[in-house]
Amino acid sequence: MAQEGRNIIDEQVVVGEEKGSVRLATLNRPRQLNVISSEVVLKLAEFLETWEKDDKTKLILIKGAGRAFSAGGDLKMFYDGRESKDSCLEVVYRMYWLCYHIHSYKKTQVSLVNGISMGGGASLMVPMKFSVVTEKTVFATPEASIGFHTDCGFSYIHSRLPGHLGEFLALTGARLNGKELVAIGMATHFVPSAKLADLEARLVSLDSGDVDVVRSTIEEFSEKVDLDKDSILNKQTIIDECFSKESVKQIIQAFEAEGSKEGNEWITPVIKGLKRSSPTGLKITLRSIREGRKQTLSDCLKKEFRITINILRSTISPDVYEGIRALTIDKDSSPKWSPATLDEVAEEKINLVFEPLEDDIELHIPETEENRWGGKYETSGFA
């Protein structure tokens, strides 16, 4: 009987548990690095809505099973749907709708991030009231490299980072560790992984969602952050100088010029990565981040929804499917981009990706508190 119960839990993509006044959601696809599938999005949204409305619930914890928190969207799901128009529209809609509710959640949330947290997976980390990272945490937004774009609210998040760090992270897919995430405000606390289980147990025993109580409890386990001398965050002056340029081409030219200077050898592999990336993905991503500086969260999510659907429709390029093929299907790391160069990607084409979709297909963000959990896919008009 115990084994049967274990198997049921193993089969659940998100495990929801009630522990007193605490609710724990565990992303439970460890063999797939907890990538976000349509079922994951559906279950998370159900749990979070139920728990926010439940007067007995005071505190929400979220973590990942295995060595990853979440590696982001399920790329194979997108690839498998490439021949059928809008086959992934539902999961995209549900994910961006969920992102809004995570950002605006009414109860105290704590994400316990002990491993990979990339792309859309990091949207379950950064917006939380408290996000706890460890020495095993690895963050990145590498979507542009495969012909996609920085999504799930990150055109809003990255555009608000210091200087032009957001453009740098979005275009290069550069990785940050736990200490670096705390240093730039994308995580709130650094706790050694050896202490994480004890912290979780203490949070469960609190019987409180009071922000000050939760903060002081986490601080009992957290450590002061000191950046390594080679941290990318210590290169902010160079990053700002280069990634403030108007175009992707100018950014790369400026970055190459800096890379030729003594002591800037760290730039060489980053440049190689940029030049291997999808030219279309890079141009779309830069524009989205730049627009994000002047947009609200809702505006960013609506924009990202339009971009994503247009990319998945191959409106101007099939690069996203070629990028996924080269990375995860054939694993040859030799994508053939179309167009192949930045110069060939016309701005008029990029404009098309940002255009509203036909038939008023739009992400519906709730506009009033009374309708806070409205706008679900089921009532969107194109379900």
Give domain status of residue 118, yes or no: yes
- Taking residues 136-148, report their average pLDDT: 98
- Taking residues 326-342, report their average pLDDT: 97
Provide the residue range defining the domain that includes 191: 10-365
Give domain status of residue 378, yes or no: no
As a whole-number percent, the residues of the chain with pLDDT over 70 amount to 97
Query: Is the per-residue pLDDT at 250 higher than 60?
Result: yes
Whole-number pLDDT of residue 77: 94
Query: Is the per-residue pLDDT at 1 higher than 60?
Result: no
Higher pLDDT, 267 or 367: 267
Whole-number pLDDT of residue 112: 98
- Taking residues 232-247, report their average pLDDT: 98
Whole-number pLDDT of residue 294: 98
Give domain status of residue 1, yes or no: no
Report d(CA 363, CA 383) in Å as an integer. 12
Whole-number pLDDT of residue 4: 46
Give domain status of residue 381, yes or no: no
Q: Please list the active-site residues.
A: 73, 120, 143, 151
Token pair in block for residue 129: 């009231």
pTM here is: 0.95
- Taking residues 274-297, report their average pLDDT: 98
Query: Is the per-residue pLDDT at 153 higher than 90?
Result: yes
- Taking residues 197-222, report their average pLDDT: 97
Give domain status of residue 127, yes or no: yes
In eight-state DSSP terms, residue 26 is E
Whole-number pLDDT of residue 361: 82
In eight-state DSSP terms, residue 195 is G
Task: Give the max Cα distance, the chain.
Answer: 66
Please name the amino acid found at residue 183.
Answer: A
With cut-offs at 50, 70 and 90, classify the pLDDT of residue 11: confident
Query: Is the per-residue pLDDT at 303 higher than 50?
Result: yes
Number of domains comprising the chain: 1
- Taking residues 85-107, report their average pLDDT: 95
Report d(CA 345, CA 340) in Å as an integer. 8
Token pair in block for residue 359: 């038939």
Whole-number pLDDT of residue 369: 87
Whole-number pLDDT of residue 9: 54
pLDDT digits (tens, 9 = 90+) for 15-62: 999 999 999 999 999 999 999 999 999 999 999 999 999 999 999 999
Whole-number pLDDT of residue 276: 97
Query: Is the per-residue pLDDT at 115 higher than 90?
Result: yes
Q: What is the CA radius of gyration of the chain?
A: 21
Give domain status of residue 23, yes or no: yes
pLDDT digits (tens, 9 = 90+) for 213-234: 999 999 999 999 999 999 999 9
- Taking residues 147-161, report their average pLDDT: 98
Whole-number pLDDT of residue 367: 83
Whole-number pLDDT of residue 382: 72
Token pair in block for residue 45: 């949204």
Give domain status of residue 2, yes or no: no
Q: Beta strands 138-140 and 108-113: pairing type?
A: unpaired
Whole-number pLDDT of residue 5: 47
Give domain status of residue 382, yes or no: no
Name 178's bridge partners.
Answer: none
Q: At what angle are helices 279-292 and 165-172 packed, to 10 degrees?
A: 150
Residue closest to 162 by CA, chosen among 271, 256, 237: 237
Residue 121 burial (CB count, 10 A): 26
Q: What is the CATH number of the domain that holds 25?
A: 3.90.226.10
CA 273 to chain centre: 20
